[in-house]
Amino acid sequence: MTVQEAIKERRSVRQYRDQAIPVERLMALVELGLWAPTGGNAQTWRFVVVTDSKTVRALHAVSPGMLGHPPTSPRLS
């Protein structure tokens, strides 16, 4: 896939399946995010994985950009 194809074919998910993502897959996605390039290799990002449904609802109430109701997985240990 070329960069042009990736940009043109990207999409924003606004509806979620009612199916939790396994914790192993969530952690794999976070690890991939750690490999993402940053300007000047600053690596100033932070990742927070929220799996508690009560916390997800609270975030939804204060985050107008978070659309839909993503399912949650079992708590991380």
For 63, which DSSP code?
-
Q: Give the model's pLDDT for residue 67.
A: 63
Residues 6 and 11: their CA atoms lie apart, in Å, by: 10
**Contact by Cβ (8 Å): 45, 54:** no
Residues 66 and 61: their CA atoms lie apart, in Å, by: 9
Tens of pLDDT, residue by residue, the chain (77 residues):
899 998 899 888 777 777 888 889 989 999 998 898 888 988 888 888 888 878 888 888 888 777 666 666 554 44
